[in-house]
Amino acid sequence: MNGNRHFVDAFTIKIHTKIQNGIQSGCGRMLEEFHTHIRVARTQKGWECFFRHEGDQPMDTMQKRKPFKWIIVAVLLLGAGIAIWMFFQKSKPDAVTGLKPHVEMSIARISEVTDSTIKMELKTLVNNPLPVGMHLKNFNYVVKMNGKTIIEDRYEQPLEVKAADSSLLTLPAKVKVRNLRIEGDELAARGNDSAEYHFKTILHFEKAFLGKDSLVLEMDKRLPVYRLPMIKMAGYDLKKFGLKESDVVVKVEVTNLNPFSLEFQNPRYVMDLGKQKRFAEGAVTGITKVKSKTRDIYEIPLEVSLGKVIKAGAQMLTKGKELPFTFYFKSKIKSESEVLNNSDINLIMDGELKDVEAFQKNMGRKKE
């Protein structure tokens, strides 16, 4: 054993081995048994092992350094590296999400309202933050209100959005009045004036972009529920009967369920009666204001020629109160709501004279 080694700590293992047939030692002697001493010591250079056999010539001292310290250090460094990597992965924004294109949509204005369809415009901002431009051949868009689809359409025009740029579009859309009215009534019954709108856009590329042929983008917004004005024919009176022309006053019930007032600018009215087209016509110059959340009756004067009255009388002899009519209402809406302001309203109401008379009688009973 080397005498110049300084052992700070050590322990020794002794192994006694017996061999039946013996083995030949390095000196040529047959050994039937021998003792092995294994000494593990921590020196100034680290942990070392020393072997010595009794029964044979002393073996050269074998030294084997076990790298315990370096293994532990390596494991600790690896663990620290993994922890740091996971921390930064969680704390930094996702690179793909942060840079991929996105679309923002909102209802800009209602351009026209009929008895069955609402035409509106959607403002759509297509943003491309990437350093390369994208070329769209078309895209689909869907709008849901409280989970129910109210708009589903397709923009067919090709669109180029340059790198790190955006493009603002005005998209046309049509909504069925019935669908919007049903949803609005359900929300009003719960005391809600707003709804959750979900906008979905599917971009279709001319060539693969970000490794994809199409990209689905979605967003959610809480927006007001716009209630359309409801107009019903509530009655009629023959105010004047002349040889040349007569005056008929049509009573119209207007309902505004919005939290803001509406104004009808220069409304015009036309009435078909039976087979007579444009039986009576009329217009109101100026503004007719309808207060918020009200239901009121308005009287509309209409002019009708004597010849049309005579023809209508002949029809009433055969059909009586079952004589059909069609009432047309046309105006422009003025409102503090940007969505409804300057909207054109064109309503068509069909019915029979007996329905109008029944409605008029019911209104008279309510007043009593």
d(CA 341, CA 318): 45
- What SS3 state is found at 360? helix
d(CA 278, CA 97): 60
pLDDT score, position 64 = 45
pLDDT string in tens for the chain (368-residue length): 344 444 445 545 555 455 455 555 444 555 455 555 555 555 555 555 554 555 544 444 344 444 556 666 666 666 666 655 554 444 444 444 457 788 999 988 999 999 899 999 999 999 999 888 999 999 999 999 999 999 999 999 999 999 999 999 999 999 999 888 888 888 888 888 899 999 999 999 998 887 889 999 999 999 988 898 998 888 877 665 554 566 778 888 999 999 899 999 999 999 998 888 998 898 888 999 999 999 999 988 888 877 887 787 788 778 877 889 999 999 999 999 999 999 999 999 898 888 776 655 654 544 44
* Distance from chain centroid for Cα 354: 47
220 contacts 197 by C-beta, under 8 angstroms: yes
- 200's CB contacts (< 8 A; 6+ apart) are 141, 142, 143, 144, 216, 217, 218
d(CA 233, CA 188): 24
Tell me the pairing of strands 276-283 and 262-273. antiparallel
d(CA 138, CA 121): 18
* Distance from chain centroid for Cα 222: 10
Domains of the chain: 1-92 (no CATH), 97-224 (2.60.40.10), 230-367 (2.60.40.10)
* Distance from chain centroid for Cα 15: 78
d(CA 219, CA 317): 61
pLDDT score, position 80 = 60
The helix (run of H) or strand (run of E) holding residue 238 is strand 230-240
Structure tokens, 221: 């917004």
Q: How many CB atoms lie within 10 A of CB 120?
A: 24
pTM of the model: 0.64
pLDDT score, position 46 = 56
